[in-house]
Structure 1
Amino acid sequence: MLWPFGTTWRPVRQKRRDAIDLRWLTARSWTRRWYPQGVDLGVWHGRRTLAVSWFRQRLDGHHLASRVALVDLDRSRHLDVLLAVEEGGELQPAPIHAGGLAWFGDRLFVAATRDGIWEFDLARVRRIRGALARRLAGSTRCGPRVTALVAVRTRVHPVALRCSYIGRVFDTDGSPLPRVLIGEYRRDDSGRIGEFSLPEGDGGGFTEIERAAPGIPRMQGAVRWGERSFVSQSDLLRPGALWTGPLDGLKRSAVPLPVGCEDLALDLDAGYLWTLGEHPWKRVVRGIPLASLDL
Structure 2
Amino acid sequence: MRDIDACAFELALQRPISEGKALADRLLTRLQSESLGTPRSFNYVTDNLNRDGRSGLSSATNTRLSGLNPKGFRWNTGDDNVTYWYPQGITGSSDAQADGKVNGRRFVMNAWYHKTTARPTKGARLALADITDPSNIKYRLLLLVDPIEDSSGKPTYREAAYDSGNALHAGGIVWYGDYLFVADTSQGFRVYDLSRIFSPTKYDSDKVGIHGGESYAHGYRFAVPRIARYRWKSGSCKAKFSFLGLDRTSNPPALVNGGYDSSDHSKKLVVWPLDPATHLLEERGGTTRASNAAIIGQTRAQGAIRANGYYYVSSSSQDGSNGRLYKGRPGQSNTSVKWVYGAEDIYLQRDANRIWTGAEHPGRRDVVSIPLP
TM-score bracket for the superposition, by shorter chain length = 0.7 to 0.9
1:178 aligns with 2:253: yes
Three-state SS of the structure 2 residue aligned to 1:240 is: strand
Any idea what SS the aligned residue of 1:4 has? helix
Secondary structure (helix, strand or coil) at the match of 1:216 reads coil
3-state SS of 1:22 partner: strand
Please list the CA deviations of residues 17-75 of structure 1 after superposition, one character each: whole Å capped at 9, or x if unmatched: 82112111131111110000011111544422111110112257974321111110024
Runs (5+) with no aligned partner, structure 1: 138-142
Q: How far apart, in 2, do the equivalents of 1:147 and 1:92 lie?
A: 13
Equivalent AA in structure 2 for residue 274 of structure 1: W
Contact 2:247 2:253 in 1 (8 A): yes
> Structure 1 180/133 Cα, relative in aligned 2: closer, same or farther at 3 Å?
same
Q: What is aligned with 1:150?
A: 223
Aligned 8 A contact 2:203 2:221 in 1: no
User: 195-204 or 214-223: which moved more?
Assistant: 195-204
Deviation at 1:129, TM superposition (A): 3.0
TM-score normalized with structure 1 length: 0.85
Q: Hey, what does 1:140 align to over in structure 2?
A: none
Task: Find out whether 1:94 has 2:94 as its counterpart.
Answer: no
Q: CA 1:202–1:154 in 2, change beyond 3 Å: closer, same or farther? A: farther
Tell whether the 8 Å contact from 2:127 to 2:139 is kept in structure 1 after alignment. yes
- 1-structure distance, mates of 2:130, 2:261: 33
Other structure's SS at 1:36 match: strand
User: Deviation above 6 Å: which 4+ runs of structure 1?
Assistant: none
- Residue 28 of structure 2 corresponds to none
Letter in 1 for 2:143: L
Aligned amino acid, residue 116 of structure 1? G
* Residue 251, structure 1, aligned to residue 334, structure 2: yes
Distance 1:182 1:72 in 2: 26
1:51/1:250 CA distance change after superposition, 3 Å: farther
Letter in 2 for 1:268: R
Paired with 1:179 and 1:204, the residues of 2 have a C-alpha distance of: 18
- Pairing 1:164–2:242 present: yes
Structure 1 position 249, deviation (Å): 2.9
Decide whether the 8 Å contact of 1:129 with 1:147 is kept in 2. Answer: no
1:82 maps to 2:143: yes
Aligned residues with identical type, % of pairs = 29
CA-to-aligned-CA distance 1:249-286 (integer Å, 9 cap, x gap)? 35131x31111110011112112101121011111110
| Other-structure match for 1:40 | 91
Q: Does 1:103 align with 2:164?
A: no
CA contact (8 A) 1:212 1:248 kept: no
TM-score by length of structure 2 reads 0.68
Give the structure with the higher percent strand.
1
**Contact preservation (8 Å) 2:53, 2:137:** yes
Larger Rg: 2
Which structure has more helix as a fraction of its residues?
Answer: 2
Deviation, 1:114, is 1.3
Which stretch shifts more, 272-281 or 205-214?
A: 205-214
Structure 2: 5+ residue stretches without partners: 1-42, 63-68, 94-100, 150-154, 162-167, 210-215, 233-237, 275-280
Match of 2:323 in 1: 240
- Higher RCO (Cα < 8 Å, 6 or more apart): 2
Q: Over residues 222-273 of structure 1, what are the superposed CA-to-partner deviations in whole Å (9 max), with x where a residue is unaligned?
A: 11111211001111871101110204435131x3111111001111211210
The verdict on how the C-alpha distance between 1:204 and 1:260 changes in structure 2, with shifts beyond 3 A counting, is farther
Q: Secondary structure at the match of 1:108?
A: strand
Distance 1:51 1:117, change over 3 A: same
From 47, 61, 66, the equivalent of 2:124 is: 66
Contact preservation (8 Å) 2:90, 2:346 = yes
Pick aligned residue for 1:128 from 173, 183, 200:
200
Deviations 1:71-128 (A, max 9, x none): 1002411112210001222210001110011111101101010121000111111112
2:196 maps to a residue whose letter is: R
Q: What secondary structure sits across from 2:299 in the alignment?
A: coil
The 3 A distance-change label for structure 1 pair 67 and 147 is closer
Alignment correspondent of 2:359: 277
Equivalence for 1:13: 54
C-alpha RMSD of the superposition: 2.8
